[in-house]
Structure 1
């Protein structure tokens, strides 16, 4: 398949700021995925509600890295609230190396997936 023939998936990937290791690890997984074209509309460091709304609005899906939830609960809750108001499907990524995700997030997610690159890509494709 030619890269020009691939559907591009506009995503919003949760973030808390520049240089967050969990965010960077997730981005690397997507970059390494063959035959998967995507764009992250999230802008780390731009976290006001108005800025988040502008980032989430063009995305087809919101991906929440639940490992960020314990340290950045208010920010993640704001991202989820905006996603729900815009009726964007939400996929949860388990905390790296763990199985459990926060129950209040699991209730609103269309799916929960671990850190396997193939599973991540398939979940995104199947959810849209």
Structure 2
């Protein structure tokens, strides 16, 4: 079997929509011939509650810095997330490509994601994997 590149992925998500995060994680885990490492922070492994916004910002900065790509769950709830814009700004600073993923059944993408994403794809394993491969050439 040929060597598979391991993609380091930061998944931007809102903890209150943790189910979407887990579904995406499962899709990537079960994708054929796709190797990846998750450098996100799921709700189940959250940062310490005592972190200041500045400490949280530094932690997010480090996670995005080490990633190859930022995958953004792009439901319209994301349009109201200050942290999502912060993650977009960090990705831009490090030149990290962004893949926007439309949640199942959604057709609308927040403006911030439209303007910053290298690719926007629907909720489909192969589309997501192909987009990651394309932007991390």
Same fold per TM (> 0.5)?
yes
The 2-side partners of 1:19 and 1:79 are apart by: 17
Aligned partner of 1:30 in structure 2 is 28
Question: 5 Å matches for 1:1-128?
Answer: 1-2=1-2, 5-17=3-15, 20-44=18-42, 45-46=46-47, 48-67=56-75, 68-70=77-79, 73-128=81-136
**1:90/1:111 contact within 8 Å kept:** yes
Gaps of 5+ in 2: 48-52
CA-based RMSD of the aligned residues comes to 1.9
Question: Shift of residue 64 of structure 1?
Answer: 0.7
Question: Shift of residue 37 of structure 1?
Answer: 0.1
The 1-side partners of 2:127 and 2:5 are apart by: 18
**1:41/1:59 contact within 8 Å kept:** yes
Gaps of 5+ in 1: none
Alignment: residue pair count: 125
Structure in which a larger fraction of residues adopt helix: 2
Q: Deviations over 1:17-71 (max 9, x none)?
A: 3881110010011011011000111123338111101111110111111125046
Moved segments of 4+, more than 6 Å:
none
The alignment's TM-score, normalised by the length of structure 1, stands at 0.88
Q: Secondary structure at the match of 1:51?
A: helix
